[in-house]
Amino acid sequence: MSIAVIGGSGVYDPAWLSQRLVREVETPYGQVEVIEGQLATGRSGWFINRHGVGHHVPPHQVNYRANVYALKEVGATQIIATAAVGSMNESMVPGAMVLPDQFIDFTKGTRPATYFEGGAGLGQGVVHTDMTCPFCPDLSRLLATVSEELGLGQLPKRATYVCTEGPRFETAAEIRAYRMMGGDLVGMTAVPEVVLARELGLCYQTLALVTNWAAGLREAILGHEEVMAVLAANAKRTTELLMAALSSASMADD
- Per-residue pLDDT band for 213 (boundaries 50, 70, 90) equals very high
Q: What is the mean pLDDT of residues 203-229?
A: 86
| 202: CATH | 3.40.50.1580
Tell me the one-letter amino acid at 9: S
- Per-residue pLDDT band for 249 (boundaries 50, 70, 90) equals low
Q: What is the mean pLDDT of residues 201-220?
A: 92
Q: Phi first, then psi: give them for residue 83, nearest 5 degrees.
A: -155, 130
Res 252 pLDDT > 70: no
- Per-residue pLDDT band for 121 (boundaries 50, 70, 90) equals low
Residues in the chain, overall count: 254
Q: Phi first, then psi: give them for residue 205, nearest 5 degrees.
A: -140, 130
pLDDT one-digit tens code per residue, 67-83: 999 999 999 999 999 99
Residues with Cβ < 8 Å from 58, sequence gap 6 or more?
51, 166, 167
Q: What is the mean pLDDT of residues 243-253?
A: 73
Domain with 115 in it: 3-253
**Number of structural domains found in the chain:** 1
Q: Do residues 108 and 167 touch, judged by C-beta distance below 8 A?
A: no
User: Whole-model pTM?
Assistant: 0.92
